[in-house]
Amino acid sequence: MAIVGAGFSGLYMLHRLRGRGLRVRVFERGADVGGTWYWNRYPGARCDIESVDYCYSFSPELLADWTWTERYAAQPEILRYLQHVTDRFALRPDIQFGTQVTSLHYDAAQNHWLVSTDAGETVSARYCVLAVGNLSRAKPPPFPGLESFRGQWYHTARWPAEGVDLQGQRVGIVGTGSTAIQALPQIARQADRVQVFQRTPNYSMPARNRPLPTSELREVVQGYPARRRAAEQSDAGVPIAPPRLAALDVSPAERRRMYEAGWQRGGINALSYAFTDFFTDERANLTAQDFAREKIRQLVRNPVVAEALCPAHHIGTKRTCVDTGYFETYNQDHVELVDVRSSPVTTVTPRGLATAAGEYELDVLVFAIGFDAITGALLEIDIRGRDGAPLAEQWAAGPRSYLGLCVAGFPNLFMITGPGSPSVLSNMVVSIEQHADWILDCLDHLHSRGLNRIEASAQAQDRWVCHVGELAGRTLYPRAASWYVGANIPGKPRVFMPYTGGCGTYRKECDQVVERGYEGFVLGGAGT
């Protein structure tokens, strides 16, 4: 078995497969485990799902012996957790670090995959699991002249492990997504001057982060099985009771009270979990947008800056950000918002950034410009299935999969949180465990029947793609120019990629496929 990637997905998959006595090799580009939490070391990086939920549930002993110190753990703590898991379950010997998988070619005669790496090695594997991450292929800075810049530049998703000393520096941050929103308050603490180059403003909810007392953690661990079951059956993979009321069915005063309560609780679902029609009814969504914009106007003293920070898209249709003091940071004299919507960045010069409006002199450039999300890391590998057909060709008009787990024409190849599954719309660790468990059960099923091949049928895949599209079409999601639809990558096909039906419903759909004898899959033995 081959697994590509050693983040939350690859590590858990390895652990489960090992439990079956299978021989497994994991290939990881990085020098250590951690995936997202290995690469994204920028100041302020932390999770936006509560730490006690953004972790594995498979081992009660692991749960009991790990101490989360904050409501939302910071990157170093999450990385330490994943390193701890790796060592506790002795996973390291099966992981080959510093190795990028460059191609995966299926050999139909042998019914195996040929896995080639950038080290020039090729190995064969009967089954392959792509645990490459939805947000792991960093978008390269697209600005001409970057090589001429005399200062230092960094992509937040490749932040140096030793950190960057920003004391006394003039720093430019390009981007105002989740990453920049976390990083700005931290960078502004150190730098002499910060200029934030904003093309599109985003909604951000207060994190209300706080230390996690051990008594609270102990209580959570005691009731963990029920808490996790609730998360698994929920829409977003978090143990929060779903809303019951529609926004327009309550009075404006009641609506306001509920939004305010959410805002005070904080977190990514602060407003979205208030009402049932948040993601489906434009008028309901507008009430939450208005509330969020009003908060920005209260938090930012300069009314011109506040207005520039007010987003216009349907709230939630681009990933809602979570912050600690983001908007308030613009009240500091040494922090400036620069509009690059009306005057886009044209070039990087030796001294800084140039826009049509002028040149900005900088010592350090920070690119918080995001990722080629969901399909980027998959298509970076030259994947060829039965008949030698490249995956890139099959996905030329957007990704097509069955359950977000498998692709027709690519036998014995599994994706963890692939396009067409809840993936980035969920607490990803919940989704990762579900996918890895499903894959393991599937392999057990094959082995118990003396079979060794499974492939999604083209018809089942067509039906699934249609179903995912229909579900998304009932929501406001596809209307935003977001990375969910590939809008942040020039030339990428515009298709809404995740499954919007919710984690609980998705899990049932996957289970039904199994109950019906792997409906929609073609199963076979070596000779068939």
Q: Which residue has the tokens 């609730």?
A: 230
Tell the smallest beta-carbon distance from residue 39 to ligand N01 (Å): 11
Q: For residue 353, give the H/E element and its range.
A: strand 352-355
Q: Which residue has the tokens 């407003």?
A: 271
In DSSP notation, 149-165 reads -SSEEEEGGG--TT---
Q: For residue 454, give the H/E element and its range.
A: strand 453-456
**DSSP letter, residue 406:** B
List the single partner that 337 binds among ligand N01, ligand FAD, none, CB under 5 to 8 Å by kind: none
List CB contacts of 316: < 8 A, sequence separation 6 or more.
Answer: 203, 271, 272, 278, 279, 285, 288, 476, 477
Does the footprint of ligand N01 cover residue 338 (CB under 6 A)?
A: no
CA pair distance 184, 336, nearest whole angstrom? 11
Q: Calculate the alpha carbon distances from 398 to 140, 300, 492, 497 in Å.
A: 21, 40, 8, 8
Does the footprint of ligand FAD cover residue 374 (CB under 6 A)?
A: no
Tell the smallest beta-carbon distance from residue 318 to ligand N01 (Å): 7
Does the footprint of ligand FAD cover residue 45 (CB under 6 A)?
A: yes
Closest CB to ligand N01 among 174 and 187? 174
CA pair distance 420, 430, nearest whole angstrom? 16
Per CB under 6 A, the list member of 16, 40, 205, 323 interacting with ligand FAD is 40
Per CB under 6 A, the list member of 187, 196, 217, 322 interacting with ligand N01 is 322
Tell the smallest beta-carbon distance from residue 29 to ligand N01 (Å): 18
Closest CB to ligand N01 among 253 and 312? 312
Tell the smallest beta-carbon distance from residue 7 to ligand FAD (Å): 2
Q: What would the two tokens of residue 23 be?
A: 């021989």
Q: Which of the stretches 6-14, 252-260, 457-465, 475-483 binds ligand FAD when contact is defined by CB under 6 A? A: 6-14
Tell the smallest beta-carbon distance from residue 424 to ligand N01 (Å): 6
Q: How many residues bind ligand N01 (CB under 6 A)?
A: 25
CA pair distance 492, 483, nearest whole angstrom? 10
CA pair distance 436, 13, nearest whole angstrom? 5
List the single partner that 256 binds among ligand N01, ligand FAD, none, CB under 5 to 8 Å by kind: none
Q: Which of residues 49-88 bind ligand FAD (CB under 6 A)?
A: 49, 54
522, β-bridge pairs: 455
Closest CB to ligand N01 among 17 and 47? 47
Does the footprint of ligand FAD cover residue 132 (CB under 6 A)?
A: yes
CA pair distance 417, 419, nearest whole angstrom? 7
Q: What would the two tokens of residue 165 be?
A: 């000393």
Q: What would the two tokens of residue 491 be?
A: 């030339």
Tell the smallest beta-carbon distance from residue 363 to ligand FAD (Å): 24
Residue 260 φ then ψ, to 5°:
-65, -40
Closest CB to ligand FAD among 425 and 471? 425
Tell the smallest beta-carbon distance from residue 460 to ligand N01 (Å): 29
Does the footprint of ligand FAD cover residue 36 (CB under 6 A)?
A: yes
Does the footprint of ligand FAD cover residue 321 (CB under 6 A)?
A: no
Does the footprint of ligand N01 cover residue 319 (CB under 6 A)?
A: yes
Contact at 8 Å (CB) between 382 and 104? yes
Taking the mean position of all CA atoms in its chain, how far away is CA 385? Answer: 26
Per CB under 6 A, the list member of 52, 101, 238, 366 interacting with ligand FAD is 101
Q: How many residues bind ligand FAD (CB under 6 A)?
A: 37
Using CB under 6 A, list all residues that contact ligand FAD. 4-10, 27-30, 35-36, 38, 40, 45, 47-49, 54, 100-101, 131-136, 179, 377, 380-381, 416-417, 427-428, 432
